[in-house]
Structure 1
Amino acid sequence: MPRYFIEVSYKGTNYSGFQIQHNANSIQMEVEKALEIFYKQKFELTGSSRTDAGVHALQNFFHFDTELIIDDDAYNLNAILPDDIVIKRIFNVNENAHCRFDAVSREYHYYLYNHKSPFLQGRAYYFPYSLDIELLQQAAKEILGHTDFTSFSKRNTQVKSFLCRIYTSEWIQETDCLIYKIKANRFLRGMVKGLVGTMLHTGRKKITIDEFRAIIEEKDCTKTDFSVPPDGLYLYEVRFQKFDQVL
Structure 2
Amino acid sequence: MERHRPFTLLARAYDRIMDDVPYEGWARFVLAVLGGEGYFPRSVLELGVGTGNALAPFLERGLDAEGLDASEAMLQIARSKLPGVRLVRADFRDFDLGRRFDLVYSAFDSLNNLTSPEDLRAAFARARAHLHAGGWLAADLNTPEGLRELGREEVWEEEGVRLVYGYDPASGLGRLEAWVNGEAEVHLERGYTPEEVAVLLEALGFGPVFALTYPDAREPDLLADRFWVFARAPA
TM-score between both structures, scaled by the size of structure 1: 0.25
Which of the pair has the greater relative contact order for Cα pairs under 8 Å at 6+ separation? 1
